[in-house]
Structure 1
Amino acid sequence: MIKSVIYVGAKPDFENNHPGGQSTASLGLIEYAQANNIKLKIIDSAQESFPTPTFLQRLKKAAGRVVELLSVLRKEKVDRVIIFCGGGFSFYEKSMLALVSVISGVETMLFVRSGHFMTECVRSRLKRSLAAALLKIPHKVGAQGESWKSFYQRLGVSSDKVVIVRNWLPNNRNVTQTAKCYNLDEKKKLTYVFVGWVVRKKGIYELVEAVNQSNVLRQCRFLIAGGGESFDDIQHLKSQAGLDCIELLGWQTPEQIDGLLKEAHVFVLPSYAEGFPNALLEAISQGLPAVVTSVGSMPDSAIHGENAELIPTKDAVALKNALERFYFEPDLIKQYSTKSISIAINQHSRESNCKRLFDIFE
C-alpha cells in the first residue's frame, strides 16, 4: 500500500461554483486517498482562467511550486509523485517538476488533462518535438483514453510507459438508473443542455448559429449553463436573432447543474479541443445522449451511433443536423440514454480509476 504521495494539481475551491474539471477530478482523488489511508500532500496548481495571468505571474507561481516540491522531497519520505497539467506553459512547468521528482529518486507520473495540448502538438513541429522529449522524463504518462494513448505513441512514447486512467465521478455523484425518454406529444419541449465556459473554443457560436438556422430547433429549449468572455456577445446575438429558446443561465451551483441535467434530454458540447470534459461525464452519468465533437478522449465515452452523435469542429451545419436528429427520431433518446448509463458505470467508477492511478507503479 502506498503510504505517501505528492499530488500536483488544482486544489478544490469549495467557495467557487465553477472550478473546472481538473478541480472536480482532484476532489475525487482526495476523497479516495482519505478513505484508503493514503497521505496526500497537495501542491496547488490552480489558476484563474479569466483574466489570464501574465507570463511573469505564472513564472513566479511556477518557481514557488518548484521550491515547495523540493522542500517536501527533502523533508519527507515520499513514495510517488502524481502531476496533473494542461497544455502550453503548464506542460513545460510540470515537466520540470517531474524532472525534480525523478532526480530525487521518486517514481513519477505526468498526466496531461487538456486537449489543447494535442492541438498544440499537431499544429507545431517544434512543440511536437519538444513534447516528445519532455515526455521521456517521467516514469509513467497518464492517458484519459485510447485516443490519448494513440497520440502519445505517435509522439514516440513507448506503449508500456502510457497508462490509461479514465476520468471518474466525484463521490457525491451517483449514476442514474433511469434512462431518458421523450415523446413529441408531450407538452414539455425537447431540451438540450450545454455546460461549460461560454467562450468561442467551446463551440458556443456554432451552437447559436445551428439553432438560428433551424425552425425545428427554435421549437426546442436550450439551457446554457456557464459564463465567460463571450457571454455578453452571445446574449446580444440571441436577442438580435430572437432566439427565445436559448436560456443563458450563467454559472450554476453543482446542485443547480444536477437539476438541469435531470431536466434535459440531450447534452451538447461542440468544443474545439478537450482532454475529457467533466461536463460530459456528469451528463452521461445522468443518462443523457450527447452531441459532441470528436476531440480528445470524448469519442471513448461518447460513441458515435451508440450514445452520441459525433461531429467535426467548427461545423454549424453538422451540429444542426445532429441536434435535429433527436427531434425527428425521439426513440433514439432512450436508446442512447441506456448506453450512456452503461458507459458511466463500466468506465468511470471513482473507486476503480483512482485505485488504478495510485497503484500505477505496483
Structure 2
Amino acid sequence: MSLRVLFVGGFQKIGKSGHVGGQAFACTSLVESDWGKTINWHLLDTMAETNQKRSFLYRLKKAIQRFAEMYRVLRKGEVDQVLIFSSAGFSFVEKGLMARMAKRYHKPVMFAPRSGLILDSMENSKWMHNYVRNTISLVDRVICQGESWQEFYQNLAGGPDEKYVVIHNWISSDPYLANVPDLSIRQSRKEMKVLFLGWINQNKGIFDLLDAAEMVRDLPIQFVVGGNGTHFEEVLKQIKDRKLEGKVDMRNWITGTDKMDVLRECDAFVLPSYREGYPNAPLEAMASGLPVIVSAISSLPDLITDGVNGYLFEPGDAGKMASIFTELAQHPEKRLQVGKAGRERVLTNNSLENATTHLQRMFSDLTK
C-alpha cells in the first residue's frame, strides 16, 4: 500500500497575476517526480493568487476553508504523514496551526519553512518569535534550505541533529543545459547584459541595482529587469529621472520560452535582495552558465563560494556590486570560468534527484 501524505503547499505553476513562484515549482516537481508518483498524495493548495496585498478577512476566509479540509482528512484517517511548506507572516501562522492540528491526530509532521522574511517577522514581534520557536519544537522534522538555516533553527528550538534535515533547493537542470549548451558564445559579445528576475520591491534591492547601474553608466553594460511588484512604477520613474533609459530595460514577468531566451541573451545575473529563503532564480541562472552576483544572505553563501562559482556582496553595497560588474565586463574569460563553475555546482548540489532521495529517507524514518 502506498504511503498516504497530506501535502500542504503551493501547486499553481503560474499565479493569476502572472508571477511564477519558486515554492510552486518545488511542490509540483516533487509530486510529479518518479519518487512522487509512488506516494498517495492529498494536496492542500495554499498558494496566494497574487503577491499584492489582500485584506485580512479575505485571507482568513481562505484559511478557514483550508482548515476545514484538513480537519476532514485527518478525522477520517485518510493520511499517514503530513508535509507542510510555509512562507512567512500570516502563512507561517496558518501552517503552524496546521502542524498543531496534525500532531493532535498523532501524525508525523515534516515542516519546511521557505522564506527569509521569517527573520523579519521574528525581529518585529516577540509573539512571533515565540510562535516560530514553538512550532519548530513540536514538529518531527524541519526541512532546512541550507546549513545556515539548519544552524539557525536548531539554535532557536533545540533538539537532536537528525530532526534538522538539510535539503538544498532544487531545479530541473536539463532544460537550461539544452538552452545554452555552449557557454563560450558569450565571450565574443562586446556588451555585457546583466539579468534581474524577481519581484520589483525594496526587499529585492532593486533601488540598489539602479545605484550600481549609475556607477557603471559609461561602461558597455546593459541591465534587463524582469518582474513586477509594488515598486514597479517607482522604478520606471527613477530610471527616467536618473537618465538610465538606455541602460536599464524594464520588462514585466518573463516566463516560459521568453525566460529561456533572456537567459541565453544575457551574460550575468544579479539578485541584490535583503531577505531570501533559497531563491530559484540564481539556480536557473547558474544552470544556464551565467555568473551570478548575489547578496550574502540566508542560504546563498551555502551555495556560492565568492569568486569561484559566483560573487557575494553585502546587501545594500551598490559600490561592491558595481565593481563586480566592471570586472566581469572587462574580463569575459572570467565570466566563462565562473559561469562554468556555477553550472557544475548546481548540477551536483541542486538536483531534484537529491531532494527526493532525502525526502524518501525521511518519510521512511518516520514510518518506522
Matched residues in 1 for 2:330 and 2:125: separation? 42
For 1:352, the aligned partner's letter is N
Conserved in 2, the CA contact under 8 Å of 1:180 and 1:337?
no
- For residue 94 of structure 1, give the secondary structure of its aligned residue in structure 2: helix
Counterpart of 1:87 in structure 2 is 88
- Where do residues 96-107 of structure 1 align in structure 2 (5 Å cutoff)? 96-107=97-108
For 1:253, the aligned partner's letter is T
Counterpart of 1:284 in structure 2 is 286
Conserved in 1, the CA contact under 8 Å of 2:31 and 2:37?
no
Counterpart of 1:318 in structure 2 is 320
Q: Deviations over 1:299-339 (max 9, x none)?
A: 22222121111111122222212222212333221111111
Change beyond 3 A, Cα 1:299–1:187:
closer
Matched residues in 1 for 2:217 and 2:13: separation? 42
Higher RCO structure, 1 or 2 (CA under 8 Å, sep 6+)? 1
Aligned-pair identity in percent equals 30
Conserved in 2, the CA contact under 8 Å of 1:180 and 1:288?
no
Counterpart of 2:162 in structure 1 is 160
Q: CA deviation at 1:181?
A: 6.3
TM-score norm. by structure 2 comes to: 0.91
- For residue 230 of structure 2, give the secondary structure of its aligned residue in structure 1: coil
Matching of residue 342 in structure 1 with residue 344 in structure 2: yes
Q: CA deviation at 1:272?
A: 0.9
- Where do residues 195-214 of structure 1 align in structure 2 (5 Å cutoff)? 195-214=197-216
Counterpart of 1:230 in structure 2 is 231
- For residue 78 of structure 1, give the secondary structure of its aligned residue in structure 2: coil
Matching of residue 127 in structure 1 with residue 150 in structure 2: no
- For residue 65 of structure 2, give the secondary structure of its aligned residue in structure 1: helix
Counterpart of 1:116 in structure 2 is 117
Counterpart of 1:10 in structure 2 is 10
Change beyond 3 A, Cα 1:21–1:180:
farther
Q: CA deviation at 1:172?
A: 6.8
Change beyond 3 A, Cα 1:14–1:270:
closer
Conserved in 2, the CA contact under 8 Å of 1:28 and 1:171?
no
Aligned pair count reads: 359
- For residue 275 of structure 2, give the secondary structure of its aligned residue in structure 1: coil
Change beyond 3 A, Cα 1:22–1:263:
same
- For residue 128 of structure 1, give the secondary structure of its aligned residue in structure 2: helix
- For residue 228 of structure 1, give the secondary structure of its aligned residue in structure 2: coil
Conserved in 2, the CA contact under 8 Å of 1:271 and 1:292?
yes
Matched residues in 1 for 2:55 and 2:285: separation? 34
- Where do residues 140-219 of structure 1 align in structure 2 (5 Å cutoff)? 140-158=141-159, 159-170=161-172, 173-175=175-177, 177-179=181-183, 182-183=186-187, 186-217=188-219, 219=220
Q: Deviations over 1:171-193 (max 9, x none)?
A: 8735455445644xx45411110
- For residue 335 of structure 1, give the secondary structure of its aligned residue in structure 2: helix
Matched residues in 2 for 1:173 and 1:39: separation? 28
Q: CA deviation at 1:126?
A: 4.4
Conserved in 2, the CA contact under 8 Å of 1:2 and 1:79?
no
Matched residues in 2 for 1:348 and 1:226: separation? 24
Q: Deviations over 1:10-33 (max 9, x none)?
A: 112457542211111122112116
Match of 1:306 among 296, 308, 318: 308
- For residue 216 of structure 2, give the secondary structure of its aligned residue in structure 1: coil
Conserved in 2, the CA contact under 8 Å of 1:33 and 1:40?
no
- Where do residues 263-282 of structure 1 align in structure 2 (5 Å cutoff)? 263-282=265-284
Conserved in 2, the CA contact under 8 Å of 1:115 and 1:275?
yes
RMSD of Structure 2 on Structure 1 (CA)? 2.1
Matched residues in 1 for 2:189 and 2:78: separation? 62
Q: Which runs of 5+ in 1 are unaligned?
A: none
Conserved in 2, the CA contact under 8 Å of 1:25 and 1:170?
no
Counterpart of 2:33 in structure 1 is 32
Change beyond 3 A, Cα 1:68–1:210:
same
Conserved in 1, the CA contact under 8 Å of 2:35 and 2:356?
no
Matched residues in 1 for 2:275 and 2:24: separation? 18
For 1:109, the aligned partner's letter is M
Change beyond 3 A, Cα 1:262–1:208:
same
Change beyond 3 A, Cα 1:40–1:170:
farther
Matched residues in 2 for 1:171 and 1:12: separation? 20
Q: CA deviation at 1:36?
A: 3.1
Matching of residue 64 in structure 1 with residue 50 in structure 2: no
